[in-house]
Amino acid sequence: MTGPALAVEGVIAGYGGVLALQDVSITASPGTITAVLGANGAGKTTLLGTISGFVRPRQGRIMLDGTNLARRHPEEIARAGVGHVPEGQAVITELTVEENLRVGGLQRTGRTDRSRALADTYQRFPQLAKARNRSAGTLSGGERQILVIARALMAQPRVLLLDEPSLGLAPKIVTQVMDLILRLRDETGLTVVLVEQNARSALAIADHGVVLNVGRVVAAEDATLLAADVALRRHYLGF
Amino acid sequence: MNEFLQFTLGGVSFGMVYAAIGLSLVLIWRGTRILNYSQGAMAMLSTYIALTVINHTGSYWEGFAAALATGVVLGAVIERLVIRPVENKPPLNAVVVTIGLLVLLEGLAGIFYGGQYRSFPAAFSVTGLHAGAVSLGISPNDLFVAAAVLAAALALAVMFRYTSAGLRLRAAAFNAYAARLLGVRVGRVLTLGWALAGLIGALAGLLVSPNTFLYPASMDSIFVLGFTAAVIGGLDSPAGAIVGGLILGVTLNYVGGYLGSDLVPLFGLAALVLVLMLRPSGLFSTSHGRQV
């Protein structure tokens, strides 16, 4: 057993006087999917924002492969290997699909390395290859979700943070997105932290589950054990 | 007819200078959503540097290069030191800061160079060209002005579309949040944007000063017309700024030629007010509605 790819240790963070995270610790082992679950306002999105540097933690450490990233700037955290796919699909609508992908690959060194990454991406996501010269603003919700995930992967992140990837998508497309996350773990050994309201679909693909409630961790165990815990499910997860 | 041709061609030459100032304003507006009121004063200062170098070395082109370099450094330094603290603050902060900078730069120019009008050399001959017996109303230097601005605009367009730096600039301008997420160092990109704007502004100063003389406030009216050109183009669009500059330059040259040159500043301001009233998002802008 190697050390965790990502470890959040005793993080306290919030906006103004409100502490959205109160002493939160989670770990994600390499090559696993960790689902972070909880109701609206539990602090899930703040947790991801704190890991990627958009929210500054007041206390605690964010360890990526043993390096503390807490209080660094978001662009430096991204360069250190944290990919973050935010809620609401941050496609750059004024750029084309290919340009969006190329922004994701900018931090790679070397022209050949970048064009190989682009070719790999088109092979994995044929629907993006077809739309490569279209303005990203013309894509459907599902296509945009695929694009932002593919764009984050262009940077070869060590850890991928996904915030509500199923939000606002049709059930069929949710299944596609979840399948994609599974495939990425299995084929590339990617470490994924998956924030979801949709606890049932998240636990179906996750290895571990963490439940947040009003800024605190109330449960952290194997995904199958969490899914089997009827009382916990009723109380915090609503299914 | 001959007159009309002269006024049109002469207007193109003036218009290209407005276009260059407009282009520099667009570069800054796209990156930082700040209207840089000190853009003209920055161009004035770099032109003084050019004049000093030309007087020392006797070479116009060394002065030309020195002015462009000054523009780049001035743009970058101003962004780092003065603009950085007011980015992401209420828009009025940046307005006050850049107007303060305008007053400061013009004051410094007065202290170091004095307030008197100085003539500034042109790169090429300013005697009019003829096509047979017909006077065209433009000189070889006018052709150089148009070519220099067009070349700068083309170089910018190529950089924006085909280079990594250009992609970073566009990503940061359109969606700074997404750019940061992907590891684009947005702070450095904004500095680069201001440096480029300083470069284009310095070029405009070099090109217009043979016609206007050089003094601390010499770029004030050029700034207003460059701003008008940018607004006609929508303030967001580099190509729009060029077209806006051409429309404005030619129109004002007709006004000056047919109605009298006293009316030119008045019509320049009237054009700005009209565009803001009738089509505030500009003729070419893709965005609609904006807080100023």
* DSSP one-letter string for chain A: -PPPSEEEEEEEEEETTEEEEEEEEEEE-TT-EEEEE-STTSSHHHHHHHHTTSS--SEEEEEETTEE-TT--HHHHHHHTEEEE-TT----TTSBHHHHHHHHTTTS-SHHHHHHHHHHHHHH-HHHHHTTTSBGGGS-HHHHHHHHHHHHHTT--SEEEEE-TTTT--HHHHHHHHHHHHHHHHHH--EEEEE-S-HHHHHHH-SEEEEEETTEEEEEEEHHHHHH-HHHIIIII--
Q: Is the pLDDT of residue B280 over 80?
A: no
Report pLDDT digits (tens) over B129-164: 888 878 888 899 999 999 999 999 999 999 999 999
Residue B95 falls inside a structural domain:
yes
Note whether B170 contacts A75, CB cutoff 8 Å: no
Residue B212 falls inside a structural domain:
yes
Q: Is the pLDDT of residue B168 over 80?
A: yes
**Backbone CA torsion sign across A26, A32, A38, A42:** positive
A69 contacts chain B (CB < 8 A):
no
The structure's pTM equals 0.88
Domains of chain A by start residue, with CATH: 6-88+158-237 (3.40.50.300)
Q: Map tokens 């890991």 to a residue.
A: A51
Residue B93 falls inside a structural domain:
yes
Q: Is the pLDDT of residue B292 over 50?
A: no
Which residues of chain B have a CB within 8 Å of the CB of A102? 167
Phi, psi of A112 (to 5 degrees): -70, -40
Q: B67 is in which domain, residue-wise?
A: 2-126+159-278
Report pLDDT digits (tens) over A2-21: 689 999 999 999 887 788 89
**Backbone CA torsion sign across A192, A193, A197, A199:** positive
Note whether A91 contacts B184, CB cutoff 8 Å: no
Pairwise CA distance, residues B95 & B290, whole Å: 16
Residue B154 falls inside a structural domain:
no
Closest partner CB to B181 (pick from A76, A90, A94): A90
| CATH code (residue B12) | 1.10.3470
B88: how many CB neighbours lie within 10 A of its CB?
Answer: 11
Q: Which of B168, B181, B185, B288 to mutate to test the interface with A (most CBs of A within 10 A)?
A: B181
Residue B192 falls inside a structural domain:
yes
Q: What is the mean pLDDT of residues B160-179?
A: 93
A127 contacts chain B (CB < 8 A):
no
Residue B107 falls inside a structural domain:
yes
Q: What's the structural domain count of chain B?
A: 1
Which residues of chain A have a CB within 8 Å of the CB of B185? 75
Report pLDDT digits (tens) over B198-248: 999 999 999 999 988 999 999 999 999 999 999 998 888 888 999 999 999
Which residues of chain B have a CB within 8 Å of the CB of A155? 182-183
Report pLDDT digits (tens) over A37-50: 988 888 999 999 99
Residue B181 falls inside a structural domain:
yes
Report pLDDT digits (tens) over B12-23: 999 999 999 999
pLDDT value, residue A7: 93
Residue in chain B closest to A79 (alpha carbons) equals B183
Which residues of chain A have a CB within 8 Å of the CB of B184? 75, 103, 106
Closest partner CB to A94 (pick from B164, B174, B177): B174
Report pLDDT digits (tens) over B81-124: 999 999 888 889 999 999 999 999 999 999 999 999 999 999 99
